[in-house]
Structure 1
Amino acid sequence: MFRIDPSSDEPLFEQLVAQVRVGVAKGHLAHGERLPAARELAEALDVNVHTVLKAYQVLRDEGLVDLRRGRGTVVTGRTEQDLSAVERAMAELIRAARAAHLSPDATATLVKEAMR
């Protein structure tokens, strides 16, 4: 379900947070759905359990998940959103970035900077 890139400049916990955000926004993670236990996910991704816990805490602070002892981590955030306009804009951005011979990392950096 989740993948991380250890060679990326983006911290591992932020990669996990981003994947959950997208999963919720696209409706792949539904309200009430339980996420894997932190220890289980850390083992599956071969990362420290504190990395997963930090991601889960960020998501909790954003209101996307609820952390309950004994219940685990449950999606509580927004339901599926229409991302078609964003997906069209991204397709155009990708075409332009490729035409300019920008790497995916350089393109991502430009997007992150523009969103600050």
Structure 2
Amino acid sequence: MIESDQRKATFLRTCIRELNLRAEVISERVERVEPQAGDVVSARALAALPDLLPWVHRHLAPDGVAILPKGRTAASEIAAAQQHWHFDLQQTASAFGDGSILVLRDIQRAA
């Protein structure tokens, strides 16, 4: 996990320790961290999709999946992102509020 907020990083480390999980928290800004090649990348309330995709793409394994909760602006964010990115999209209505859960695969920069 990458979390630049030290309070949140401390909380995550406590959860990992108390639940005896195999995980690590990197306390750094996402754009400064070496590529992680994650099988799954998720981000909540970090940035609009067009701004988020470069970070997701950087840290995602080639066959990985991005799971991104988005709010009521999901449709416009998807349209804006598709101007510069290609991806397979599965969109599901969120069980909480009027947002969506976006599942993206095969994320590639548009030529």
TM-score (structure 1 length as normaliser): 0.34
Structure that is richer in helix per residue:
1
TM-score (norm 2): 0.35
Larger Rg computed on CA atoms: 1
Q: Which has the higher contact order (CA 8 A, sep 6+)?
A: 1
Going by fraction, where is strand more abundant, 1 or 2?
Answer: 2
